Chains A and B, each alone.
Chain A
Amino acid sequence: MATRLTGALRNLWRAIRRLSGDDGYERYLAHHAAAHPDAPALSRRAWFALQQKQKWSGIKRCC
Chain B
Amino acid sequence: MKTTIFSLLLWLGVALLGAAAVGGIALNRGESINALWFVTAALCVYAIAYRFYAAWIAATVLCIDETRATPAERLNNGRDFMPTHRWVVFGHHFAAIAGPGPLIGPTLAAQFGYLPGTLWILVGAVLGGCVQDMVTLFFSTRRDGRSLGQMARDELGSIGGIAALVATFLIMIILIAVLGLVVVNAMKHSPWATSTVAATIPIAMLVGLYMYKLRPGRVLEGSALGVILLLLSVAGGGWIDQQAGLRELFDHPGLPLAFAVIFYGFAAAVLPVWLLLAPRDYLSTFMKLGTVILLALAIVWLRPEIKMPALTQFVDGSGPIFGGALFPFVFITIACGAISGFHSLIASGTTPKLLSNERDIRMIGYGGMVLESFVAVMAMIAATVLDPGVYFAINSPAGVVGKTAAEAVATISAWGFPVTVEQMNQLARQMGETTLFARTGGAPSLAVGMASIFGSAFGEHLLALWYHFAIMFEALFILTTLDAGTRVGRFMLQDLLGNLWQPLGRTSWYPSVLFSSAVVVSAWGYFLYIGVIDPNGGVNILWPLFGISNQILAAIALCVATGILVKSGKLRYAWITALPLAWLVVITSTATWQKLSSDDPRIGFLAAANSLSDKLAAGALPPDKAAVAPQLIFNQQLDAALVLFFAALLWLIVLDMLRVCVRHLQGRRVPPLSEAPHYPTRLEEAWQRD
A contact set with B: CB distance below 8 Å = 15-22, 24-25, 28, 31-32, 35, 44-45, 47-63
From B96-104, B378-386, B441-449, give the one contacting chain A.
B96-104
Contact B78 A62 (CB under 8 A): no
Q: Is B24 an interface residue (CB 8 A)?
A: no
In the bound complex, residues from chain A placing their C-beta under 8 Å from that of B673 are none
6 examples of A-B residue contacts, CB within 8 angstroms: A18-B88, A44-B217, A51-B79, A56-B484, A62-B101, A63-B99
Q: Assuming A48-B211, A56-B487, is B217 touching A19 (CB within 8 A)?
A: no
Q: Is B14 an interface residue (CB 8 A)?
A: no
Out of A15, A45, A53, A60, which one reaches B350, CB within 8 Å? A60
Q: Which residue in chain A gives the minimum CB-CB distance to B477?
A: A61
Q: Is B593 an interface residue (CB 8 A)?
A: no
* Given A22-B217, A56-B273, A58-B349, 10 more pairs with CB closer than 8 A: A18-B85, A18-B88, A20-B219, A22-B220, A24-B217, A35-B78, A47-B217, A62-B101, A62-B345, A63-B550
A50 to chain B, nearest CB (A): 8
In the bound complex, residues from chain A placing their C-beta under 8 Å from that of B220 are 16-17, 20, 22
Contact A48 B96 (CB under 8 A): no
Q: Is B175 an interface residue (CB 8 A)?
A: yes
Q: Which residue in chain A gives the minimum CB-CB distance to B219?
A: A22
A13 to chain B, nearest CB (A): 10
In the bound complex, residues from chain A placing their C-beta under 8 Å from that of B345 are 59, 62
Contact B273 A52 (CB under 8 A): yes
In the bound complex, residues from chain B placing their C-beta under 8 Å from that of A55 are 273, 278
A44–B88 alpha-carbon span in the complex (Å): 22
A18–B484 alpha-carbon span in the complex (Å): 24
Q: Assuming A18-B85, A52-B273, is B78 touching A61 (CB within 8 A)?
A: no
In the bound complex, residues from chain B placing their C-beta under 8 Å from that of A63 are 99-101, 175, 179, 335-336, 340, 342, 481, 546, 550
Contact A44 B216 (CB under 8 A): yes
Contact A59 B349 (CB under 8 A): yes
Q: Is B343 an interface residue (CB 8 A)?
A: yes
Contact A49 B274 (CB under 8 A): yes
A28–B277 alpha-carbon span in the complex (Å): 23
Q: Which residue in chain A gives the minimum CB-CB distance to B478?
A: A63
In the bound complex, residues from chain B placing their C-beta under 8 Å from that of A62 are 96-99, 101, 340, 342-343, 345-346, 481
In the bound complex, residues from chain A placing their C-beta under 8 Å from that of B88 are 18-19
List B residues 86-129 near A (Cβ within 8 Å).
Answer: 87-88, 91, 96-101
Q: Is B218 an interface residue (CB 8 A)?
A: yes
Q: Is B140 an interface residue (CB 8 A)?
A: no
Contact B212 A49 (CB under 8 A): yes
Contact A25 B217 (CB under 8 A): yes
B509 to chain A, nearest CB (A): 15
In the bound complex, residues from chain B placing their C-beta under 8 Å from that of A21 are 219
Ranked nearest first, the 10 interchain pairs of A and B with the lowest CB-CB distance are A63-B101, A31-B78, A45-B216, A61-B484, A48-B217, A56-B273, A22-B220, A63-B99, A62-B342, A22-B219
Q: Is B573 an interface residue (CB 8 A)?
A: no
In the bound complex, residues from chain B placing their C-beta under 8 Å from that of A25 are 216-217
B423 to chain A, nearest CB (A): 33
Q: Which residue in chain A gives the minimum CB-CB distance to B218?
A: A22
In the bound complex, residues from chain A placing their C-beta under 8 Å from that of B491 are 57-58
In the bound complex, residues from chain A placing their C-beta under 8 Å from that of B481 are 61-63
A60–B488 alpha-carbon span in the complex (Å): 9
A49–B488 alpha-carbon span in the complex (Å): 19
